[in-house]
Amino acid sequence: MGVKRIRLRTVFIQYLLSLGACTLLLAFLCLGVFTLLMQYGMIVPANHTEQSIAKSWDVLQRAPEITQEMIPWGAEHAVLDQQKNYISGNIPKERALDILQKNQSSCNLMGTNCTDVIEREHEVIVLQYAIVPQFTSNFLHNTLPNPQLTLLLFFVVLMLLEVILISGFFARRLSQKMASLQEAAHHIEAKNLDFTVVYSGVSEIDEVLSSLEQLREELKKSLEQQWNLEQMKKEQISALAHDIKTPLTIIQGNADLLIDSDLAENQQEYIGYISKNADQIEQYMATLIEISNTRKQISPRSKWVRTEAFIQQIRTQLDALVVPKHLRIEFHQDNNLPPEVLIDNELLHRAVMNVLANAVEYSPYESVIYLQVEAKQDWWSITVADSGSGFTSEGLQSAVKQFYRGDSSRTSKSHYGLGLYIADTIVRQHQGSLHISNSPLTGGGQVRIDVPVRGVR
């Protein structure tokens, strides 16, 4: 790959080492600040008050009167007489009596509460102080905790800032390493497989990127195969359509000759069916060739069409379709159909005939085809039901897909899986919908086409 790789474990070790080094640096910084403050007299040592008391001890014993100015800095005091009556001081009487009762110098383990008792001729001085560093400034002494605690709090705040900054730096670094992984995932999600994987330099991430690269290549290969297969199918459809044109031309030519012959009236009618449907097949072949040669769908050219004329045209062709299998037609039509609908007559006619042709194909001999036309508000519907075996669960999901042929019980060798696909495409172009189900009446397949009355302009 040409990139020096490290493991995630190494990144986390670097993070911990950076955190430890910065913490140690902060500790030395705080210690240095504390030392400087002591050197410049802003902080006195922990034993400063204790030493001052020792130096003033004789003075306090012999002085005729005890004043606040005589008490060493950093100590509190109380003066009591021999009868333990409170005379003066800033230690509350109850606490002074408690200290006096012990009558000894003492200090707790942390050095935060130390006491001394000085005996005078007629009085007793009780002193209380702490063996901790102290601020010499009265403002700082009264506002902040002792210098040790203040320094500790300052260190904790700086350490929190340090953790935030270092964590942010390593988070950004990892995000940059992850960027190529996210970019590759976005490309694959967008089905853009023409991209180059940029490796991050982190082993674990690069292993995932390598897997994505393999996935990209496999997907690209699969899509190319699918595209080639699709092109092959289109070429087969185009070739089939061209091949059909030759026998169709023969049928059409002979039908035209028979029309000009002296035939009975019913024979003339059947020859008319042959000629008319041969023309229609030729139109279908032209459309099929156009669909197979281009990705663009044919746009409907809509105009207002008389509803009754459109239905009659469907009925006429259905009558001809059912003759070979001796099928019976059950036809129902609402009385409230709109007089006109906005459609592309040729395209929608083709869609309905595809559905009817499917229904005839799947219906057993001498069975029934149901055709119903109804309207509801701004929509009108055409429902076709056959008497066959119905759609399978897979067919209900996939019947409108191109080249779907379903199971062998509902297909034949002449069925190419295009009828419902073309019908669905045309109906959607009319801003309508095609619904597939199994008829509760016959148990066979049922297809309903819903199209807006005003269609697509």
Query: How many structural domains does the chain have?
Result: 3
14-39 pLDDT, tens digit each: 999 999 999 999 999 988 988 898 88
Tell me the pLDDT band of 413, cut-offs 50, 70 and 90. very low
Region 60-67: mean pLDDT is: 88
228-252 pLDDT, tens digit each: 887 777 777 777 776 776 677 777 7
Clarify whether residues 366 and 432 are in a common domain: yes
Q: What pLDDT score was predicted for residue 288? A: 67
Q: What pLDDT score was predicted for residue 414? A: 45
**Residue 191: DSSP 8-state:** T
Instruction: Indicate if the pLDDT at residue 172 is higher than 50.
Output: yes
Clarify whether residues 62 and 39 are in a common domain: no
Residue in this structure with the two tokens 């009754």, named with its chain if needed: 308
Query: Does residue 322 belong to any structural domain of this protein?
Result: yes
Q: Is the pTM of this model over 0.75?
A: no
Instruction: Indicate if the pLDDT at residue 105 is higher than 90.
Output: no
Clarify whether residues 307 and 444 are in a common domain: yes
- 430/281: higher pLDDT: 430
383-410 pLDDT, tens digit each: 999 999 888 888 888 777 765 656 544 4
Query: Does residue 344 belong to any structural domain of this protein?
Result: yes
Tell me the pLDDT band of 2, cut-offs 50, 70 and 90. low
Q: What pLDDT score was predicted for residue 375? A: 92
Q: What pLDDT score was predicted for residue 417? A: 55
* The two three-digit tokens of residue 65, written as one number: 């009167």
Kindly calculate the radius of gyration of the chain based on its CA atoms and give it in whole angstroms. 50
Task: Reduce the DSSP state of residue 106 to 3 states and report it.
Answer: strand
Q: What's the CA gap between 454 and 456, in Å, rounded?
A: 7
Query: Does residue 118 belong to any structural domain of this protein?
Result: yes
Q: Which domain holds residue 100?
A: 46-132
Q: What's the CA gap between 304 and 453, in Å, rounded?
A: 10
Clarify whether residues 40 and 115 are in a common domain: no
